[in-house]
């Protein structure tokens, strides 16, 4: 059924049929867990356990256990929050923005990327809750509930409250989008299930999906509208996260380029994390035919673009700090690059600005090893970016007697480890029990994408296109 083009690689290689797609994806769910999966799952549970110990200690004794001090009142907590929420941007970007732009290559990677988004946002939400110190009374601080802990209502002038709504909405809508995408695939698994429990569980999850043409029509419309709603949403979320800093009066924070700069940084780190996870999943689940080198190359190109935007933002910030003539601002930036945290600034510049430029070389951006290594380097760099923005702007304030140097404690590291454990535990459970590739969407692009390439190839070599009778492919014109 597939026509292989000479112009470009098809979206799914290996001449897969619709039946093969079902088989390849479902066998991971139906079979016994692979030893590699068991080992990785155990490792994430271990991280969750060790991190959980430090988290428990923190909640019992208070956030004084973190390395915060009078000048640096926000450090790893908010760094990790922004880092995780940034990672949580790629999924919706891939599924919503690329859907609106009709980028068919998204079909093989959107499911896992959306799952990653949801888990990353859970990890992000954990940080503001933990840094409340007394999270059990958090709801009255965060939600518009009448309370007697200060003013009667929450403060709608505060970007921190906007953040509650932004992240809450982003999480809810991403979860809905992801679940709606899963429904037809759950129906496929339900109809293949051989055990009673899985037939019942997947049956309930599939909501009794029957794939009728009328339902597909509404379903497609719902997906498109959800994509249309999620696109401004995903841009608004990191914009609002950047408002947490940009609306303050701290030198180094109150810059107007923060919203676009944070959004591109989020896409940058999100795609890097998608690559890290997809390269592992692809290898373990033998999905080389679905996640092809071309998919990886496309994502690497997005990394070059967003990485360069981030690089330009760093330079613009520095230039404007000097050009504005505000000496506090200029000092904040000079201190950032040459002060006691010069090593963090250097790590940020090297990992985020220099390393993604290697992807200009075709052999590097199509190499799995290079991609894997660079994807991790990018995320290290993005962590340092947030650390640099937050800690270097705080540690030397207006009063030199209160200048300090922030050092993380074991509880900072432990709670960070806890979020890693949480993220990977969720991700491995997802990879075992849910279809990692959107079967329905991949089936839908199997033929279509290939016939377009077929036409392109025929036009390129000046071969006349076959008449309608001759070709099955050409029927598609209708």
- Using CB under 8 A as the binding rule, the residues of this chain from 180 to 219 that contact another protein are 180, 183-184, 187-188, 190-196, 199-200, 203-205, 207-219
* Residue of 172, 324, 357, 402 interacting with another protein (CB under 8 A): 172
Nearer to another protein, 183 or 309 (CB): 183
Q: Do the Cβ atoms of 314 and 337 come closer than 8 Å? A: no
* CA angle 453–459–463, rounded 5-degree value: 115
Q: How many C-beta atoms surround the C-beta of residue 52 within 10 A?
A: 17
d(CA 219, CA 323): 52
Q: Do the Cβ atoms of 327 and 360 come closer than 8 Å? A: no
Of 128-167, which residues contact another protein (CB under 8 A)? 144, 151-159, 161-162, 165-166
Q: Is 404 helix (H, G, I), strand (E, B) or coil?
A: coil
**For the chain, how long is the longest CA-to-CA vector?**
86
Give me the least distance between CB of 13 and another protein, in Å please: 19
Q: Which two tokens stand for residue 3?
A: 């026509």
**Contact call for residue 284 and another protein (CB under 8 A):** no
Give me the least distance between CB of 93 and another protein, in Å please: 16
Q: Which residues contact 251 (CB under 8 A, 6 or more apart)?
A: 326, 328, 329, 331, 332, 393
Nearer to another protein, 235 or 377 (CB): 235
Contact mark string toward another protein, 88..127, x via CB under 8 A: ----------------------------------------
Q: How many C-beta atoms surround the C-beta of residue 260 within 10 A?
A: 15
* Alpha-carbon distances of 440 from 230, 428, 443, rounded to whole Å: 21, 22, 5
Of 233-252, which residues contact another protein (CB under 8 A)? 233, 236, 240, 243
Q: Do the Cβ atoms of 294 and 103 come closer than 8 Å? A: no
Nearer to another protein, 172 or 324 (CB): 172
d(CA 439, CA 108): 8
Nearer to another protein, 283 or 447 (CB): 447
Give me the least distance between CB of 426 and another protein, in Å please: 22
Give me the least distance between CB of 318 and another protein, in Å please: 29
Of 328-347, which residues contact another protein (CB under 8 A)? none
* CA angle 268–238–81, rounded 5-degree value: 85
Q: Do the Cβ atoms of 35 and 129 come closer than 8 Å? A: no
* 214: phi then psi, degrees, rounded to nearest 5: -70, -40
Instruction: Give the residue among 331, 302, 338, 333 at the shortest CA–CA distance from 316.
Output: 333
* 127 CB-contact burial (10 Å; exposed 0-12 / middle 13-18 / buried 19+): buried
Instruction: Tell me, by CB under 8 A, how many residues bind another protein.
Output: 77
Give me the least distance between CB of 2 and another protein, in Å please: 13
Of 356-415, which residues contact another protein (CB under 8 A)? none
Q: Which two tokens stand for residue 303?
A: 């990394």
Give me the least distance between CB of 142 and another protein, in Å please: 12
Nearer to another protein, 177 or 424 (CB): 177
Give me the least distance between CB of 389 and another protein, in Å please: 21
Of 436-465, which residues contact another protein (CB under 8 A)? 439-441, 443-444, 447
Give me the least distance between CB of 286 and another protein, in Å please: 20
Q: Which residue stretch of 174-182, 320-328, 346-354, 361-369 sits at the interface with another protein (rule: CB under 8 A)? A: 174-182
Contact mark string toward another protein, 17..36, x via CB under 8 A: xxx--x--------------
Q: Which two tokens stand for residue 231?
A: 């696109």
Nearer to another protein, 189 or 313 (CB): 189
Contact mark string toward another protein, 308..327, x via CB under 8 A: --------------------
d(CA 227, CA 233): 10
Give me the least distance between CB of 6 and another protein, in Å please: 23
Nearer to another protein, 269 or 451 (CB): 451
Nearer to another protein, 65 or 443 (CB): 443
Nearer to another protein, 108 or 335 (CB): 108
Nearer to another protein, 73 or 212 (CB): 212
Give me the least distance between CB of 47 and another protein, in Å please: 32
Give me the least distance between CB of 433 and another protein, in Å please: 17
d(CA 109, CA 245): 33
Q: Do the Cβ atoms of 240 and 166 come closer than 8 Å? A: yes
Of 216-235, which residues contact another protein (CB under 8 A)? 216-222, 225-226, 229-230, 232-233
- Long-range pairs for 406-409: beta carbons < 8 A, 24 or more residues apart: 406/67, 406/68, 406/69, 406/72, 406/75, 407/67, 408/66, 408/67, 408/75, 408/76, 409/65, 409/66, 409/67
């Amino acid at each position: 059924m597939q026509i292989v083009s000479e112009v470009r690689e098809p979206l799914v290689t290996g001449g897969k049929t619709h039946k093969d797609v079902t088989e390849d994806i479902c066998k991971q769910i139906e079979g016994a867990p692979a030893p590699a999966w068991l080992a990785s799952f155990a490792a994430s549970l271990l991280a969750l356990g060790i991190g959980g110990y430090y988290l428990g200690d923190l909640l019992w004794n208070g956030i004084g256990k973190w390395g915060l001090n009078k000048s640096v009142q926000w450090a790893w907590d908010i760094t990790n929050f922004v880092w995780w929420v940034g990672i949580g941007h790629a999924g919706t970007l891939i599924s919503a923005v690329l859907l609106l732009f009709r980028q068919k290559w998204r079909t093989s990677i959107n499911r896992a990327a959306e799952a990653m988004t949801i888990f990353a946002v859970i990890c992000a939400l954990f940080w503001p809750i933990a840094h409340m110190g007394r999270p059990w009374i958090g709801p009255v601080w965060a939600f518009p509930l009448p309370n007697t802990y200060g003013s009667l209502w929450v403060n709608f002038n505060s970007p921190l409250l906007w953040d509650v709504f932004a992240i809450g909405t982003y999480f809810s809508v991403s979860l809905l989008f992801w679940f709606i995408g899963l429904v037809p695939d759950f129906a496929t698994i339900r109809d293949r299930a051989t055990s009673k429990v899985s037939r019942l569980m997947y049956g309930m999850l599939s909501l009794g999906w029957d794939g009728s043409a009328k339902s597909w029509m509404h379903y497609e419309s719902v997906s498109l509208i959800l994509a249309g709603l999620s696109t401004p949403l995903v841009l608004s979320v990191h914009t609002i996260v950047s408002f947490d800093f940009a609306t303050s009066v701290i030198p180094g924070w109150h810059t107007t380029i923060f919203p676009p700069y944070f959004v591109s940084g989020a896409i940058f780190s999100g795609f890097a994390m998608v690559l890290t996870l997809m390269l592992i999943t692809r290898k373990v689940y033998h999905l080389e035919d679905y996640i092809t080198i071309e998919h990886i190359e496309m994502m690497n190109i997005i990394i070059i673009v967003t990485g360069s935007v981030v690089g330009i933002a760093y330079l613009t910030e520095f230039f404007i700090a000097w050009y504005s003539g505000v000496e506090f601002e200029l000092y904040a930036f000079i201190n950032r690059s040459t002060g006691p945290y010069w090593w963090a600034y250097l790590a940020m510049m090297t990992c985020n600005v220099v390393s993604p430029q290697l992807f200009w070389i075709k052999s590097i951006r199509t190499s799995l090893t290079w991609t894997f290594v660079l994807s991790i380097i990018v995320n290290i760099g993005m962590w340092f970016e947030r650390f640099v923005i937050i800690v270097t702007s705080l540690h030397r304030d207006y009063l030199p007697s209160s200048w300090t140097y922030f050092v993380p404690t074991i509880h900072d590291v432990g709670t960070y480890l806890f979020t890693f454990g949480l993220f990977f535990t969720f991700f491995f459970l997802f990879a075992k029990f849910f279809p990692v590739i959107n079967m329905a969407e991949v089936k839908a692009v199997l033929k279509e994408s290939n016939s377009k390439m077929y036409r392109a190839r025929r036009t390129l070599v000046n071969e006349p296109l076959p008449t309608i009778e001759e070709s099955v492919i050409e029927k598609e014109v209708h």
